[in-house]
Structure 1
């Protein structure tokens, strides 16, 4: 067993145009003061990193690491979620997802996808320059609008969708494999990879690609009403990243999993700050420790009630309190002794 590293914090939800949230130096100093040991950097936000420059220049990456180190922190991982989202996007979502791409690519889905694939490859190279071997992402989606089978899905539709998803991702995964970097997919509603079954489908169509891994975030499984503890038993060998995010699901006589198009605060399923939701983090940290997860525990703050600043302040000690210093000895070692084959045979009734 190994001890989980942490606490770390995902910067995406905190970045803004005013200090201390407006650049890498300022925000690192802020999160260090409130108890964090590492930062997860969003690869699309130029306030903290120029991902193309980072792919081209190890010197630039050393400068980024220097800024983080000067604040007493490490870089846990790069996040490429918004870039991965654009690798595959159904036309129904084009207008909304254009906001994640440069203006010149708006209304041009093919060019936008090509750009996103290049950005993903750049993020993999940047990760290697930064000394990181995993990065988080979304899979994107060609099929999610057919998630509920009405009208009935035509035979072969799911297979065709996953085949095309693989066509777009395998070149990225191959590039990542060459660099020694894994893509950890956050299994998330709205993505074609949103649960264990869909992740298994993806592994099948990518020929069990060794660079396809999982970013474990229990909050999305609470909202899908999955067993997020047993998930770890099934997929622990693939879990290489961990978002510590809370959620709750309180269905009622008016709405349930789908939420009735309501705002987050009125939905039965909603994200909460750490400790305010229903996620059993004691069991999660125990399971991950049992299976030897030694990556970072990264706060991802999303809450429809509590402020991000309070959520961040409370998040660091919450994670510290849940990290288990794994034992290096068995509790009954005191009763053991050296191997004595004669005694063993005697206990077993053997001569």
Structure 2
């Protein structure tokens, strides 16, 4: 009850601060049963998402009353960790218009998910953006699960912005293509670089990637209104 109240306060605080979006996690009832072996009891996943939907829908209604979206960070460890699980969650809350996404490509790269196509599919629901980098270097000893190793020795590691493998040029281009106009927040996690250096490098890195949208097409050298007579003359008719 306390946590639900705090979430509702978050909606009101966001409105008072003039914010259009807030960020949260879905919660995790089913994630301990992520791997399909041992076999899960029939209906376990459906029941977990139904429970999440029941808990979140009243909260989402309060966010709607305050004109604020919740951007759920799609994150391993939560029940909503990729596109398929987001769709399950969205169904569980009845397609609620305030149920949206905080886009963080670092978690997608470590899952080996196509984070650029994700934008093509879900761009209408992306309301916040964590600019965070990562790298995935599988070996003959470890892959996605990284063998219980510490961060330095994992195949999948978070890196300081610009030091990893995430294609931020592609991400900013796609977000711009779809008219994204919300946050681009530096989220820093790196097992190698000092955080002060990560901050000093990361802020201008984001600024450099923000695209100022052109006011007209690059090949619109003529401009002007349509001249039907001239067009027909060009076609010889």
Question: How high is the TM-score relative to the length of structure 1?
Answer: 0.65
Distance in structure 2 (CA, Å) of the matches to 1:318 and 1:238? 25
Matched, 1:120 2:2: no
214, 231, 235: which one aligns with 2:118: 231
Question: How high is the TM-score relative to the length of structure 2?
Answer: 0.96
* Per-residue deviation, 1:343: 4.1
Distance in structure 2 (CA, Å) of the matches to 1:115 and 1:193? 23
273, 286, 306: which one aligns with 2:193: 306
Matched, 1:155 2:7: no
Distance in structure 2 (CA, Å) of the matches to 1:125 and 1:137? 15
Structure 2: gaps spanning 5 or more residues: none
Matched, 1:256 2:143: yes
261, 265, 271: which one aligns with 2:158: 271
Distance in structure 1 (CA, Å) of the matches to 2:55 and 2:235? 60
Corresponding residue of 2:211: 324
123, 127, 132: which one aligns with 2:19: 132
* Per-residue deviation, 1:341: 2.7
**Residues 232-247 of structure 1: pairs in structure 2 closer than 5 A:** 232-247=119-134
Distance in structure 2 (CA, Å) of the matches to 1:233 and 1:118? 35
* Per-residue deviation, 1:337: 4.3
* Per-residue deviation, 1:203: 1.1
Corresponding residue of 2:53: 166
Count of aligned positions: 237
Q: Quick one: higher RCO (CA 8 Å, sep 6+), 1 or 2?
A: 1
* Per-residue deviation, 1:154: 2.1
Distance in structure 2 (CA, Å) of the matches to 1:275 and 1:289? 19
Distance in structure 1 (CA, Å) of the matches to 2:20 and 2:162? 30
Structure 1: gaps spanning 5 or more residues: 1-113
102, 118, 122: which one aligns with 1:215: 102
Distance in structure 2 (CA, Å) of the matches to 1:347 and 1:202? 55
